[in-house]
Structure formats: C-alpha cells, structure tokens
Structure 1
C-alpha cells in the first residue's frame, strides 16, 4: 500500500519580511506567495492584482500574421471555413469561440467534433470537407501530430491552420499553412489551454481586421468588446483542462470567471439556471465541478455537438432543450461511471499484484469509453498510483491515463509509442488508442520502466503549520486574493497539530460526516472542523491527532464563519494517516 506523508514548505525569514513589509500584507499571505514561487515585490504585485494589460501580444507567435492573412482572405473571398475541434470542454469552448467570432466577422463557418472518441484530424472528415467545398480548416486543441492528415488536406486544396497547445510528438515541420502552438514556438507563455490559443488567434484577427494592423491592447474599445464577449469561454476551457493557472492563464481565468454573471450567451445562462448557479459568484470550483462535468458529459456520451450548439445558440427555446438533453446525458454518465468504477476495482483486486505493479493497467470489456477518464481519476485517488483504464471495443481499446506527481506521463508514454495506435495528453492525463493484443505488452513495459521511480510515498504539501488563533476571517480574505486556484497555484493547505478536541460527533443524515470541536485559551469561542465522508473516524482516538485542512467560508444564521475542512488525519506516528471512507 502506498504511504502518505506530509512535507512543510521551508521559507526564508528574510523573504517573508521583505514581501510582508514591502506589500503591507500579513506574514501568512507572504508565506503563501513564496510557496507558489512568487519571490519578489514586482511579481507579487502582479500576482495579487492581475491586469489584462499584462497579457502578451498575440503577434509574438511567429506565424500569427500569416494565419490572420489567410483567414481574412477567406472572409474576403467568401470561402467556407471549418473549425475542427475536440470533444472535451477545452475543445468545445475553443470551437464555440472561433465559430461565434468568425461568424461575427461575416464568415461562413462550420465545425466538426470527432465521434467515437477520436482525436485530431482524420482523412474521412477531410474528404467530406473537400466535397462540401471547404477551403480552410482551423484546428483547435488538436492537430499538432497530424502530419499525414494535413498533407492529405493539402492535396485536396485545403489550407490548414493548426492551433493547439499539446507538445509535438515528432520533430518535423508540419505541412500546414501555419502552426500556432506555444509549445512549438518562441511565444513566452507555454501553458495556454487550447481555448487560450484560439482566443489569441481571435484577438489577432480583430487587431488586423480590414487589412490594417491596429492595437491588440485589451483597453482599446474594440478589444474591450472582444474580451468581454469571450473571456467566459476562455475561463471555462482553461479551468476544465487543468492547465497551469499561472501567468496568462491566471489573468484570463480571473477576468473570465467575473464575466459569467454578465454573460450574454443564452446557452450558458440557461445552464447556469439549471445548475442553480445563475446570479451567483462563479469561481474555479463551480466551473471544475459543476459546469465542466455537465458539458463534458455530452462529449463522453459521444454527442459533443450538443455542447457546441448550447454554447453558440442565440435561441432560448433551443438552449433550454439542449441543456435538458445534456443534463440527462450527465445523469447517464454518472450511473455508467459508478458501474465501471466497481468493475475496475473488482478487476484490480482479482488480477493485479499491488505489491509488484506500480502502474495499474485495467482493460474492461464492458466499459464505456467516454467515462474512462472519470474512472481513472477515482482509482488514482483510491490506490495512490498511476492508472490506465482501457475500454475494449472489437480489436481495439480506447483508454485514459491519470497520474500524480510521482510519474510524468509526457516522459513515460513516448517510450511505449510503438505499442499504440495513437496517444496524446499532458503530464498528469493522457488518452491512448491501442490494439487489444498490445495491452499486456504495454502493462509489462510501463511497469518495467517505472521500477526505478518511487511511487510508494505520496506527499501532502503543507503551506503553513497554523494555530487556532490564526484562523480568522482576515486570513480567509487573504486566501481569496490568491484565487483562482488550480495547477501551479493550489488552494492553501494548513496543518493543525496536536489537537485536543472538546467534542467529536457524527453529522449528516446517516452520520457519514465528522465534526470536531476545538478551542484554545487565546481564542474566543469554539472552532468547528468538519470532515466530509469521515464519520467512521468518530470511533477512533483523535486526541493529539494532526489535521491537514483547507479553510472555507461557512454561512450560518446569516453570519459568515471560517470553517476548516479536513483533507487528511494523521495520528502518532506522524507519517500514518487514518483510513478514510471512500
């Protein structure tokens, strides 16, 4: 069984004092900034007060000007344009953004989302595009590895503009007209999501509209309109894709989340109403755990076009129908993912030697391909080791890989590429298509490759060992200044050491949750700490336990309170976490 330990981030006292005094902020906020790599006053000011003017010029992409010239020529000649997207939320948001914007510019634009969980360009779709007289294809969130398909499109007389954010799998120049990809460019910010790259293209198109280059400054009237119109989609796709929420992504997401309450998109309004989020503050949590899973359900259930239609429609009646359809698919997805999770656990317990295999490779004959990512995430949390789930269909299998900080999929999967039909993804998540006969070979090879990598010890990183007296509304305000949270900027984690509970009790209808009452001599009143799905710990001796917590707002009787929420419980010895109810 993997072991869980905590590690407290060490901070130099001089750095703390410099930031705290230089910015007139609390020492804890200064510590949280330093823990996130924000080490000087200039960077700290930018981090705490993001500004759209700090965004990079889209024309820093070397081939952006050529891309704009080709799109404007297509608009002038009334050529048909196809946006080729992807079925995840990043791909859906990017597709919707360019479809809406190019139509605003007067273009005749269509879109395509792969079915049967395909990824990237395919020759059958390109042939159909040729028959329909498409002259220009713009990919979003895909295309960087489609050398042969781009070459085929060119042979049909179709120009291709690649916008993508995935790293190229081969070191060769694509036969595309232009490539806009921060990971294949000198562009300074490498972490844009697919929708962020599409947004940059739109920004550049607007700056070069009607044949003359104008400013791309977000404060200009023309750009201000563009940013207000599309930043909600950028935030949606960026948060959903779990990219680094630092640099430009932090700025785009922060301002994009603010746009949700004022969005003009009928489909988003209807969906927010359906999820009881309309006119409420929308943060990264609401996007990641409410909006994105629902939209993702359409793609996972092989109907990604419903998500696009919802995001581009201007008709309320159509939006209501589409939202209801997608919510229904989401419920079917939830039931299916629960079933497939149980099947995967049964397979692991029956077929895999957990003492020998560090990477869990699970082929399932009855699994739904669209939910493999969800199942893989659940198993990653349960077994604390990388997981690859395959849904077997005929002679092939479509899979999702999920990892933690112990294993970088970007570095390990290319060493198995001879076994794959295709693959792609990020450090922590990837998609794989493979022949069924190669699954056992892949299982052997990946476990052989990771033998020298330590995956057995999982670390919980602690930002600050906190006293009860420091847990105040003012600290919660400080934490809010760090939002939005995500990769590269995690929500702060605190350690309450050596607790002396005044009371411990089960809460919830079935007693499934835990409440611990704490007090200190210096603190006025009691502090209530909750542990969701931790009711089974009520029977354990928690005196002098150590609690890993995150601080949340709790509203009770119209009053805002700070409530620590337990992430992990450690008892003596310090490196031994108590088991939690899954």
Structure 2
C-alpha cells in the first residue's frame, strides 16, 4: 500500500478546538480534518439530534406524494410498494410496507426477479399491479430513469410515486411525484440520502401531515441505518443523525427480523461496520441467489418465531452464496493468468456459467488481488451482463460512457456499475475499456492507498482518548474510523497466525521507548508477515482502534491495516 499522511489542518483551528472543547491536539486535529471548526459544529457532530433533520417538504414533489398516499388510504385504494432486490431496496420496501399497514392502508409488495426482470422498475411489476386492480405504486431506490415504464403505467391507469437517490437523466419520469434530492430543481439541503432514507422522508412528511408525534416512527430507523451502512453512502449531515438513532433502535429494540440475524453473532453492541460485514451480506444473499422476497418477509415478520425460521432459510442461501463466490473468484483469477492479463491496467473476465447474483462480489474480490478497474461478465439470456467495480479516484461510470458504442445499457456511479452487452461485442468492448483505462488512470491510483489521520504514541491511547474517539461513531464514508501510525513497535512474543489458512496475524504489541503500554492486535490477511514479526524486529504499523467484544468481555484491540519494517 501507499502510505499517505494527511496534511495537518489549520493550526489556529486546531488550537481553537482544543481551547473551547478541552481536548488534546490529536482529537482537535481529527475534528478539523472533518471540517469542524467551532464549538457548535463539534456539538452537532458529537451529539446528533433529531431536531437537525430537515423539513421533508423541502424536497420537490413531497406535498404531491403525501396527498396521493393519503387519498389512496382514505378511498381504500390498494398500494403496491416496489423496490429493488439489494439491501437498500428491500429495507425500503419493508419500511414503507410496515408504515402503510400501520396507517391501515391496503398494501402489497413487489421485488423484481434479478434474473428475469433485472434492475429497477419492470413491466412485469406494473402488469402485476394492473392485474390486481392496484392504482398506485410507490417505487423505492429506483425509477428515476424509468420514463417509458411510467408512461406505460399511466396508459393503464396506474399512478407512480418515485423515491430514488440516483442521478437523474436529462428528463425525469412523468409520475405523480418524483422524490429525489439529486434532481436539479430540488432544493432539499442534503443530497446524499440512500433510497431508504428518501422513503423515510416521505413517511416523515405523511406523519407530519397527520399531526402524529415523531416518536411513533422512530422505530423504523433500524431499517434506515441498515440501508445507510449497506449502500455505502456518506455518514455525514442527515445520514449521521439517521444512522445514530437507527443504531440505537438496533441495539435496544430491533424488529424481529434483524434480531434473528443479530442472534447469529455473539456481540454486545452492533456498529455500522457490523451491519456492513455481518448483517448486510445475509440480507443481500436472498436477492442474489433466490429472491428478494425472502428479505422483505424477514424484515416484516412480526414474531420472533417466524423471523427465526426465515433466517434459517437465509443462512442456507448465504452459505450457497459464499461457495459460489469462492469458486468463481478462483476461476476468474486463473483466467487472468491464463489470458496473460496480469500486467493490464484493467480486468475484464467472462464465463457463461458464472452466477449472475455474485459477480459483483467477485469483482471486488479480484480487486483485492489485482488492484485496478474490474468487470466480471456472465450470460444473461441472449446477452451478457456484468458488474463493474473501481479503485479509488477512478470513475468507472465515465469510463463506461466512453465505451457506450459497445453497450446495450449501463448504470451506476463512480465506483460501481452494471452493464449489458451483446455477446459478439465482448472482445471489442474489452479492448476499448482497457484503452480508456490506460489513457485516463494515474499510475499511482493502481496502488492501493491508505490514509493516515495522525501519528500516535501508544502512551496517547488513554481511557479519555478512547472515550472521545468512540463518540466519533458511527463511522463510514465521509467519517471513516481514524487510522493512526505508530513507529518502532514490536511483538512481545505472542504472535501467531490465525484463520483457516493462517491468513491472519494476531500479536501483542509494545512500542520501543514507551513503557507501560501494550495492546493486542489483529492484522487481517497479514499472516504472511508472521516470520518477520516473531523475530521481534521493529516495524511501523497503521491501525484503527476498536473494541473487541468476546464472551461478554470488552478489550481494546488495534486492527492493523498495514505494516512495514522500521528503518
């Protein structure tokens, strides 16, 4: 990895924060790096408040959406809640379905089949509404570019409310309401909501109109926090507030479905990271291997018994997903070697037998080995479908736009995208994509970079420092867990390899010339450093500081990101 120590922020700002907050220079520097420069900004950061949530009616078309929903409820019109098969989509559907049922609405749900219908609003979903006499569809986490689908629905007397967070095209669908903070004509102050977040703002607006207290919709924030974590949106502004209070719900009174998933792990407290790496993959597995309906059923179950049964099915599905993921990754890595693609600037691989539901995961796995923009193709009917993943600072969406003459369709954002091509265009596309990447990517961006927030001595890691650091949570994009650099450390003789293949490294570290401080440490995928460590040689480490909960005992653990010999 390339080690990059962030530039020191303005010293006057750091000194001011030290004075008004009574914190040391390291904490003040961490705050300044997050664009916090005053007492009030720090208070808002450390003490997220529901009062900081924006008025939902600042969002374009919100009043229209609220009016149409209330009209449907009052006239006993059935409402179809439509959402995608990923975590953001399924949590959005569960959220809206649960709330509308709470209001007494006649409501049904629809999740498109990943393989037969694909991403976004589908004609099959609209036909389902028509066949069942449904006059209103609320679409979540999709729809902003579904112009022809909305026209089709209108011709058949079906209204649409769209709740999306993706970038619109040149025009927006002619729905009853299009809620998307990224609309050019939308004055909503915060632009980074996930799909479930937009759905929650609609719920908040309906609730306000009905003059109901906010406390009665606060329990729904467990789903919003889950979606924020899984969809990798910035944990800033309004998302930070929603995630903070959502985690409180998750850790105090989660819905039965989340509770059943959480019981698979022996954790005292769940963080955003736990959602990303433990809960979200299982929530996602159903949509990848079977059908997203499994997830919606899980998240709307009303009893622990029913939720536990659904989780048993999802665990089995997830085990199948992991097996597929591992096997396809091995095949793809072999293909890179066999086709002599090791020295390319991009990775494009294909097999007709690869499971469409896991190619996105496989693309991410390949980047772990060959750090470069990566696209994994498989068969999808008469065409090829692919998932694309990128590396830091490289916009893969723009790269696909430059190859658009070879594509049937594509969509996504800077770091992740999906695309479809004709089979006969694969070779031409692969060559063009490699050419675009070669001509536009910086060589340094082909080496993974790790940002260091601050240098740290082990003596700086005091109880007070840790208490304040914990208040920086929830962590995520826009507010990552701080990474620290400590130099000249060594293992005290307890180093060992861990994991099924010895791929991880466990240590107990001390720092030379700093007495009285030692910490347990874990380095994931650093098992190959074991021989150097056991010789008690000095090395420098980059790490985050975490709490390790094991058998009801909480200890401090350094999670090592990278290490190199001291010089």
- TM-score calculated relative to the size of structure 2: 0.93
Q: Name the CA distance, whole Å, in 2 between partners of 1:140 and 1:123.
A: 16
Q: Which residue does 2:271 correspond to in 1?
A: 283
Q: Which residue does 1:38 correspond to in 2?
A: 36
Mapped contact 2:373–2:396 kept (Cα < 8 A) = no
Q: Following TM superposition, by how much is the alpha carbon of 1:389 offset from its aligned partner in structure 2, in angstroms?
A: 1.2
Q: Which residue does 2:301 correspond to in 1?
A: 313
Q: Which residue, 351, 354, 360 being the options, matches 2:342?
A: 354
- Describe the shift of the 1:133–1:525 C-alpha distance in structure 2 as closer, same or farther (beyond 3 A): closer
Mapped contact 2:482–2:544 kept (Cα < 8 A) = yes
Q: Which residue does 1:226 correspond to in 2?
A: 217
Mapped contact 1:399–1:433 kept (Cα < 8 A) = yes
- Describe the shift of the 1:352–1:263 C-alpha distance in structure 2 as closer, same or farther (beyond 3 A): farther
Deviations for 1:462-493, whole angstroms, at most 9, x for unmatched residues? 00011121123332222211111111111110
- Describe the shift of the 1:326–1:261 C-alpha distance in structure 2 as closer, same or farther (beyond 3 A): same
Q: Following TM superposition, by how much is the alpha carbon of 1:338 offset from its aligned partner in structure 2, in angstroms?
A: 0.6
1:97 and 2:84 aligned: no
Mapped contact 1:92–1:308 kept (Cα < 8 A) = yes
Name stretches of at least 5 consecutive residues in structure 1 with no aligned partner: 215-220, 574-582
Equivalent residue runs for 1:534-549 within 5 Å: 534-540=526-532, 543-549=537-543
Equivalent residue runs for 1:229-268 within 5 Å: 229-263=219-253, 265-268=255-258
CA RMSD across the alignment: 2.2
1:123 and 2:117 aligned: no
Q: Which residue does 1:492 correspond to in 2?
A: 482
Q: Name the CA distance, whole Å, in 2 between partners of 1:246 and 1:456.
A: 28
1:338 and 2:337 aligned: no
Q: Which residue does 1:570 correspond to in 2?
A: 564
Q: Name the CA distance, whole Å, in 1 between partners of 2:311 and 2:63.
A: 38
Q: Following TM superposition, by how much is the alpha carbon of 1:85 offset from its aligned partner in structure 2, in angstroms?
A: 0.3
Q: Following TM superposition, by how much is the alpha carbon of 1:439 offset from its aligned partner in structure 2, in angstroms?
A: 2.6
Q: Following TM superposition, by how much is the alpha carbon of 1:40 offset from its aligned partner in structure 2, in angstroms?
A: 3.2
Equivalent residue runs for 1:141-180 within 5 Å: 141-168=141-168, 170-180=169-179
Deviations for 1:345-367, whole angstroms, at most 9, x for unmatched residues? 11111224333x32211212221
Q: Name the CA distance, whole Å, in 2 between partners of 1:395 and 1:558.
A: 54
Q: Name the CA distance, whole Å, in 1 between partners of 2:525 and 2:81.
A: 44
Q: Which residue does 1:421 correspond to in 2?
A: 408
Q: Which residue does 1:578 correspond to in 2?
A: none
Q: Which residue does 1:55 correspond to in 2?
A: 53
SS in 2 for 1:182: coil
SS in 2 for 1:134: coil
Q: Which residue, 71, 80, 91 being the options, matches 1:82?
A: 80
- Describe the shift of the 1:8–1:77 C-alpha distance in structure 2 as closer, same or farther (beyond 3 A): same
Q: Which residue does 2:387 correspond to in 1?
A: 400
Mapped contact 1:471–1:562 kept (Cα < 8 A) = no
Q: Name the CA distance, whole Å, in 1 between partners of 2:506 and 2:263.
A: 32
- Describe the shift of the 1:271–1:531 C-alpha distance in structure 2 as closer, same or farther (beyond 3 A): closer
Mapped contact 2:289–2:357 kept (Cα < 8 A) = yes
Q: Which residue does 1:23 correspond to in 2?
A: 21
Q: Pick which of 290-299 and 358-367 moved more.
A: 358-367
Deviations for 1:32-70, whole angstroms, at most 9, x for unmatched residues? 112223233322221111111001000001210011111
Mapped contact 1:182–1:189 kept (Cα < 8 A) = yes
Q: Which residue, 515, 536, 556 being the options, matches 1:523?
A: 515
Deviations for 1:222-276, whole angstroms, at most 9, x for unmatched residues? 211111x201010011111111111111110011011013336222222222444
Q: Following TM superposition, by how much is the alpha carbon of 1:502 offset from its aligned partner in structure 2, in angstroms?
A: 4.8
Q: Name the CA distance, whole Å, in 2 between partners of 1:557 and 1:273.
A: 14
Mapped contact 1:412–1:446 kept (Cα < 8 A) = yes
Mapped contact 1:397–1:433 kept (Cα < 8 A) = yes
Larger relative contact order (C-alpha < 8 A, sep ≥ 6)? 1
Name the count of aligned residue pairs: 556
Equivalent residue runs for 1:124-139 within 5 Å: 124-139=124-139
Q: Name the CA distance, whole Å, in 1 between partners of 2:80 and 2:428.
A: 39
Q: Name the CA distance, whole Å, in 1 between partners of 2:40 and 2:396.
A: 34
Q: Which residue does 1:325 correspond to in 2?
A: 313
Mapped contact 1:514–1:533 kept (Cα < 8 A) = no
Q: Which residue does 1:470 correspond to in 2?
A: 460
Q: Name the CA distance, whole Å, in 2 between partners of 1:292 and 1:557.
A: 23
Name stretches of at least 5 consecutive residues in structure 2 with no aligned partner: none
Q: Following TM superposition, by how much is the alpha carbon of 1:388 offset from its aligned partner in structure 2, in angstroms?
A: 1.3
Q: Name the CA distance, whole Å, in 1 between partners of 2:51 and 2:294.
A: 35
Q: Which residue does 2:109 correspond to in 1?
A: 111
Deviations for 1:434-479, whole angstroms, at most 9, x for unmatched residues? 3222332332222222223213343211000111211233322222
- Describe the shift of the 1:51–1:557 C-alpha distance in structure 2 as closer, same or farther (beyond 3 A): closer
- TM-score calculated relative to the size of structure 1: 0.90
Q: Following TM superposition, by how much is the alpha carbon of 1:529 offset from its aligned partner in structure 2, in angstroms?
A: 3.5
SS in 1 for 2:451: strand
Q: Which residue does 2:206 correspond to in 1?
A: 205
Deviations for 1:292-324, whole angstroms, at most 9, x for unmatched residues? 111111111131101001111224443222111
Q: Following TM superposition, by how much is the alpha carbon of 1:496 offset from its aligned partner in structure 2, in angstroms?
A: 1.2
Q: Name the CA distance, whole Å, in 1 between partners of 2:379 and 2:463.
A: 51
Q: Name the CA distance, whole Å, in 1 between partners of 2:309 and 2:551.
A: 38
Q: Name the CA distance, whole Å, in 1 between partners of 2:395 and 2:88.
A: 21
Q: Pick which of 38-47 and 359-368 moved more.
A: 38-47
Deviations for 1:200-237, whole angstroms, at most 9, x for unmatched residues? 0011111123xxxx4xxxxxx6211111x201010011
Q: Following TM superposition, by how much is the alpha carbon of 1:145 offset from its aligned partner in structure 2, in angstroms?
A: 0.9
